Structure 1
Amino acid sequence: MTPSTGLSTTLPTRADVDRAAARIAPYARRTPVMRAVVDGRPLVLKLEQLQLTGAFKLRGALNALLGGPRPARVVTASGGNHGLAVAAASALLDLPATVYVPESVPPAKARRIEATGASLIRHGSTYAEAAAAAMAFADAPGSRYVPAYNDPLVIAGQGTCAAEVVAQCPDVDSLVVAVGGGGLAAGTVLGAAGRPVVAVEPAGCQALHDALAAGRPVDSAVQSIASSALGATRVGDLPFELLRSVRSVLVPDAEIIAARDRLWEEFRLAVEPAGAVPFAAWLAGSVPGELACLVVCGANTDWQPV
């Protein structure tokens, strides 16, 4: 563990997920589930886009900040949703925060990060470049760098979403999540109580899929309509260790957009493209089991009035 960033290489466990749930309960929402029938098949939707900040990432950010000594300042890097989560968690805990984002950050996400009172710094063209600058900035006593996914406290916090699903719908027989750097998927493995986990990525933005093929995390291209939320160039080392046995599925951008539009037309669920990735895989018949739960997550987009 390094003094300035607090990074650890210890794999989290289900017990860590349970501890995370207790820590974050006063701050995070317990999001609802929706049972539905689509094309004659039943499914469950975990409406995590209704989480504070519009994404599951608040869970991990809160657990990271509550699970260790109180820092003097908080630093992170993000394509958008994680940065907003860390900024919001810091505000809830009355901590100053600095968020580095790529220059390509969507305006809606940048605006919401700044609205929390955090300092927003645009740096580089990719998440990796923003993260390198953020970690350099965090190299000072009292700073807590909160990684987007490669941190045991973050992973355990994300696992509380799956633990809620299992408690809300014990008849669910698989869980389906979108993957960027792997934090949510890894946490889902821990929180799913032995149920299979399907990890879905956009084709062309597939860090986990490439890592599984190579047997280790490798650099991967980032080119997708959902890259602002799922655009990790490399899956995290800690998530990868927990994800070696998951089912990996790729979906093309056209199917992601069709799934996003269908979520709106049939359920009036307004999500960004990343939030529709699990539904795209389910519609394509790539999800096993009789009753899957799809984690619908990511509501940080702008909608133009008609």
Structure 2
Amino acid sequence: MAPSSTEIAANAVGARARIQQFIYQTPLIPAQKVGKSDGATVLFKAENFQLTGSFKIRGAMSKMSTSAANKSLITASSGNHGVGAALAAKTFGRSLTVVLPETVVPAKLEKIKSYGVEVILHGQETGLAERHAQELAASGAYEYISPYNDIDIISGQATIGIEILEQCGHVDNIFISVGGGGLISGVASVIKDAKPATKIYGVSAVNSRALAESIAAGKVVETKHLPTIAEAVAGGIDYDTITLPLAMSVVDHLIDCREEEIISAMKEMAFDEHMIVEGSAALALAGFRRVAPSLAGQTSIILLCGANVGVPGMKEIIFPT
């Protein structure tokens, strides 16, 4: 049975106590330009400055701090969860195998390998990597850790919500990129528990919107996945994922963004806000851009979920040949 949003909010308090010595409390940074022309106040929750360059370290540390130490672990990732899980495994002295899609961003692959974990490349998208990891775990040789379908993972990501509440007295809207749903269901559970009036916007890439389509259908549905610059939110979701009922209970609005909108947001972050972020983080800004004219006079937070983008890839985006 899926936990309620109230349970996640309560569990986040314990998760924070377990992981706070291993992570950064990231800043809430006022935008320099974003929102100004629309009369909106915008703040960036800068998980792009997190220890591993992504929020994923929160959930990984939360899980590793509660996982039994008598079994080898296996997980799957598009990259950022793999980085966080690899560092968490090293921190707690655990044996870990990370299954990644063959399309993993090279910069993320190198980060994962640097922590000394075993790496398996399988499939062209994260959903296939997840299924392979689950099959290997079914043999009994490993304990499988889902990158999103796990209460301890979600509770770790939810600690971002606790920090936001401490850093900002009033929040009208929060924009969060949507992948498997661990981030949005965790953060939104904490925010809604404390401030029910705050609106939660989930932003998906048009090319890979498994959770968004499942929310619309009220059940997990098969989704076609195309390549996206926001590769960290690409891939399918488990049929029994607890993130679906959680997200359905706490997300107010869903927005889909095209690839050109995400790329434009990456450029805007670099040139106007002087921050390099990956596509999945820029996705949240692209979602804000869609509705910004209607948010005049309101305070909106854009959650920048990560910055693990390679130099060649970023150069190609900002200065295309």
TM over 0.5: yes
Identity of aligned residues (%): 30
Quick check: 1:21 aligned with 2:16? yes
Quick check: 1:208 aligned with 2:211? yes
Amino acid at match of 2:220: P
Aligned-residue offset at 1:132: 2.0
Q: Structure 1: which 5+ runs fail to align?
A: 1-7
How far apart, in 2, do the equivalents of 1:55 and 1:61 lie? 11
Structure 1 segment 22-37 matched on structure 2, within 5 A: 22-36=17-31, 37=33
Quick check: 1:303 aligned with 2:311? yes
How far apart, in 1, do the equivalents of 2:145 and 2:24 lie? 21
Do the aligned residues in 1 keep the contact of 2:280 with 2:306 (CA within 8 Å)? yes
Q: Match of 1:241?
A: 245
Do the aligned residues in 1 keep the contact of 2:19 with 2:58 (CA within 8 Å)? yes
Aligned-residue offset at 1:139: 3.7
Runs of 4+ aligned residues of structure 1 deviating over 6 Å after TM superposition are none
2:108 is paired with a residue of what secondary structure?
Answer: helix
Do the aligned residues in 2 keep the contact of 1:49 with 1:296 (CA within 8 Å)? yes
Amino acid at match of 2:118: S
Do the aligned residues in 2 keep the contact of 1:86 with 1:146 (CA within 8 Å)? no
Aligned-residue offset at 1:184: 0.2
Structure 1 segment 103-122 matched on structure 2, within 5 A: 103-122=102-121
Cα shift readout 1:54-85 (whole Å, capped 9, x = no counterpart): 11111111111112423432210111111111
How far apart, in 1, do the equivalents of 2:262 and 2:105 lie? 18
Do the aligned residues in 1 keep the contact of 2:203 with 2:255 (CA within 8 Å)? yes
Aligned-residue offset at 1:190: 1.4
How far apart, in 2, do the equivalents of 1:219 and 1:243 lie? 18
Amino acid at match of 1:241: P
TM-score normalised by the chain length of structure 2: 0.87
Structure with the larger helix share: 2
Q: CA RMSD in A?
A: 2.0
Do the aligned residues in 1 keep the contact of 2:208 with 2:228 (CA within 8 Å)? no
Q: Match of 1:264?
A: 270
Cα shift readout 1:169-215 (whole Å, capped 9, x = no counterpart): 12122211100010001001212123221110011211122112211
Q: Match of 2:299?
A: 291
Do the aligned residues in 2 keep the contact of 1:202 with 1:224 (CA within 8 Å)? no
How far apart, in 2, do the equivalents of 1:34 and 1:70 lie? 38
1:13 is paired with a residue of what secondary structure?
Answer: helix
2:45 is paired with a residue of what secondary structure?
Answer: strand
Do the aligned residues in 2 keep the contact of 1:224 with 1:253 (CA within 8 Å)? no
Amino acid at match of 2:78: G
Q: Match of 1:4?
A: none
TM-score normalised by the chain length of structure 1: 0.91
How far apart, in 2, do the equivalents of 1:187 and 1:228 lie? 20
Evaluate the alpha carbon distance shift between residue 252 and residue 138 of structure 1 in structure 2; reply closer, same or farther with a 3 A threshold. same
1:250 is paired with a residue of what secondary structure?
Answer: strand
How far apart, in 1, do the equivalents of 2:217 and 2:114 lie? 41
Quick check: 1:278 aligned with 2:262? no
Cα shift readout 1:80-129 (whole Å, capped 9, x = no counterpart): 11111111111121212110011111111111110111111111222222
Further displaced range: 202-211 or 255-264: 202-211
How far apart, in 1, do the equivalents of 2:165 and 2:141 lie? 37
Amino acid at match of 2:89: S
How far apart, in 2, do the equivalents of 1:174 and 1:299 lie? 22
Q: Match of 2:44?
A: 45
1:204 is paired with a residue of what secondary structure?
Answer: coil
How far apart, in 1, do the equivalents of 2:70 and 2:188 lie? 29
Q: Match of 2:186?
A: 187
Further displaced range: 128-137 or 205-214: 128-137
1:70 is paired with a residue of what secondary structure?
Answer: coil
Structure 1 segment 216-255 matched on structure 2, within 5 A: 216-234=219-237, 237-245=241-249, 246=251, 247-255=253-261
Aligned-residue offset at 1:9: 4.8
Do the aligned residues in 2 keep the contact of 1:52 with 1:58 (CA within 8 Å)? yes
Amino acid at match of 1:114: K
How far apart, in 1, do the equivalents of 2:81 and 2:20 lie? 19
Evaluate the alpha carbon distance shift between residue 89 and residue 76 of structure 1 in structure 2; reply closer, same or farther with a 3 A threshold. same
How far apart, in 1, do the equivalents of 2:133 and 2:105 lie? 19
Question: How many residues of Structure 1 are paired with residues of Structure 2 in the alignment?
Answer: 299
Q: Structure 2: which 5+ runs fail to align?
A: none
Amino acid at match of 1:201: S
